[in-house]
Structure 1
């Protein structure tokens, strides 16, 4: 609740409008509460950004069922339930809305100790590509953003800790982080989110777009790199 209240205060202090719903992301009930709060307080819903996330990093043999289920529930199931609820509202009210799901480089290529997180983030991109097909007729776009940024979550990753701490002190991150790793601040990601939510991005859907620090990337759709054929099939 305190984190949500801080976010609302930061937005309203800048002249914006915001409300918070404090609930565990994952369940259908939470998704319904989030959409209902948006409609009740703002008169409608146009954009959904699914950004809730947790980490429970452990190597495969040390990862428990609970470690796996929690991360899958928040990231993957939470994205599914929230998008389903938002899209139902879009369809019912003829809104050409925007779905922006947050992925991760880990979901694109894996990472040591992150079986659960990699599975969830890869699944999010798979869902986005599917939704882009299903939502096209309704004029709704669905895209995944693959960010690398200093947050409370990435601060727990030792490799990024120095950069996150520098940002918290108001210091510039070293070029190695901003350019080589494409790691920056949340503000570096915000522009892409705003663009994908805008009218200018009406023709962009089903994409996975990376952003962080000074770097912007377009991730490819998986394609077979080689095909061979054998009459009668393969033994």
Structure 2
């Protein structure tokens, strides 16, 4: 039997056996899941509740561009959790303003008395070629994906430090933020910014026993359905189901991952790997470089052995 967090979900029997194996893995922990009403967020909310977590399902119920509000989105996930005896409460506030972030944390404290983990799944997209993208569309994507993560993260970190018992924060980055993607300069900038934000938290809060990590998921969701790669997701529906992200989240929230901090775990369907920033040996000289010398040594400067 493969350990929880690294299960192969090709068959539902394996999925269920993995759930039984880690049945009490998150018992006693209160976890806030932003964007918890749909896609990856809803899968995570239900999965960690089955492992004993008390879940705050935060979702204002907006569309993929951040428009509209529908409380039924969060309510539906909470209802599913309560049906199997799990503990969950809904929250409809937005993470994009300080007051909203504070209210989300207050919901956790008022209902469960603690905050032990945060999973940031809230996100939006407004894709366009850079020259056709409006400043407002750029700002709105940064506001939800990066500023929102900062605001809710800051509120959770305050509580975790005061509690003095550690904690775990997980932010969702993207291959767009690591490698870039056509038509997504706003989304890529936000997701790249999340990497710097999360790695800084990993450094700043390690002394408090608080870990901060990232997941870079490749999954079939409403956000990806209009992307060119969506056909690949449809052809491999189970492999790219958002449910495959859930065990990695559970692993990072649990005490199994106490040694992991500031890392990026990629979930490409049923394949897991990590992204690293690497350096090579480089080329040195005793005097200042000239542009022509750089050109001559460019292969050695860029070479990765």
For the residues of structure 2 that align with 1:156 and 1:15, how far apart are their CA atoms? Answer: 36
The match for 1:39 among 106, 109, 114 is: 109
Structure 1 segment 91-170 matched on structure 2, within 5 A: 91-160=161-230, 163-164=233-234
The alignment status of 1:206 with 2:262, answered yes or no, reads yes
2:268 equivalent to 1:192:
no
8 Å Cα contact 1:26/1:73 also seen in 2: yes
RMSD: 1.9
Counterpart of 2:159 in structure 1 is: 89
Separation in structure 2 between the aligned mates of residue 192 and residue 38 of structure 1, nearest angstrom: 23
Q: 1:156 to 1:8 in 2, by over 3 A?
A: farther
Is 2:237 the counterpart of 1:173? yes
Q: 1:51 to 1:60 in 2, by over 3 A?
A: same
Unaligned runs of 5+ in 1: 167-171, 179-183
Structure 1 residues 36, 60: closer, same or farther in 2, change over 3 A? same
Match for residue 27 of structure 2?
none
- Work out the number of aligned pairs and report it: 221
Where 1:101 maps in the other structure, the secondary structure is: strand
76-85 vs 154-163, which deviates more?
154-163
Tell whether 2:287 aligns with 1:231.
Answer: yes
Equivalent residue for 1:169? none
- Judge conservation of contact 1:57–1:113 (CA < 8 Å) in 2: yes
SS of structure 1 residue aligned to 2:88: coil
Q: In the TM superposition, what is the alpha-carbon distance from 1:213 to its structure 2 partner?
A: 1.3
Aligned mates of 1:231, 1:139 — CA distance in 2: 45
TM-score (norm 1): 0.88
Quick check: which has more Rg, 1 or 2?
A: 2
Secondary structure class of the residue paired with 2:233: helix
C-alpha change, 1:207 and 1:20, in structure 2 (3 Å) is: same
Q: 1:173 to 1:36 in 2, by over 3 A?
A: same
Select the residue among 111, 122, 127 that pairs with 1:52.
Answer: 122
Give 1:118 shift.
Answer: 0.4
Hey, what's the Cα distance between the residues in 1 that align with 2:72 and 2:228?
Answer: 25
Q: TM-score, structure 2 length as denominator?
A: 0.68
1:125 and 1:104 map into 2 onto residues whose CA distance is: 9
Distance in 2 between residues matched to 1:210 and 1:189, nearest whole Å: 9
Name stretches of at least 5 consecutive residues in structure 2 with no aligned partner.
1-70, 292-305
